[in-house]
Amino acid sequence: MGIAGNQTVRAGGILRALDLPSDMIATSDDWGVSKPNIAFFDAVAASMPCKPEEAIYVGDRLDNDILPANTAGFKTALIRRGPWGFIQQQDPQAAQVPTMRIDSLAELPARIETLSLAGR
């Protein structure tokens, strides 16, 4: 699991200091490119031990997260939380583009398992 977002180098340092159970923490400032630029998602992909199509990118914005991650080859999960998660939920692309829509990160393990089983 990785954490990546449009944040400062300072925010990345704070997150890394928290010793969160993640394999990677990176920010747009670390990489010198911000979402929704496809180069941000290429940097995410380059930091992973798998191909984008074998991963799920979770985000709360269609424009900044889901659409560009989809273009970069990721499976995607649109999480409906925070203002953007609710503002954009009525957008037709919210029903069509994401691999899945979730209301909580707690849903993710079961949804990934279902997705994995369906792919067998």
The CA-CA-CA angle for residues 26, 71, 63, to 5°, reads 70
CATH number, domain containing residue 56:
3.40.50.1000
Write down the pLDDT at residue 4: 96
Write down the pLDDT at residue 100: 94
The domain total for the chain is 1
Write down the pLDDT at residue 119: 72
Write down the pLDDT at residue 23: 93
Write down the pLDDT at residue 120: 58
Residue-wise burial string across 55-92, b where 16 or more C-beta atoms lie within 10 A, e elsewhere: bbbbbbbbebbbbbbbebebbbbbbbeeebbeebeeee
Which amino acid is residue 21, in one-letter code? P
Give the neighbor-by-neighbor strand order of the sheet with 56-59.
Answer: 56-59, 75-79, 100-102
Mean pLDDT by 10 residues, the chain (120 residues): 95 96 95 97 96 95 96 95 84 89 94 84
pTM here is 0.90
Q: Say which residues have a Cβ less than 8 Å from residue 43's Cβ, sequence separation at least 6.
A: 4, 26, 31, 33
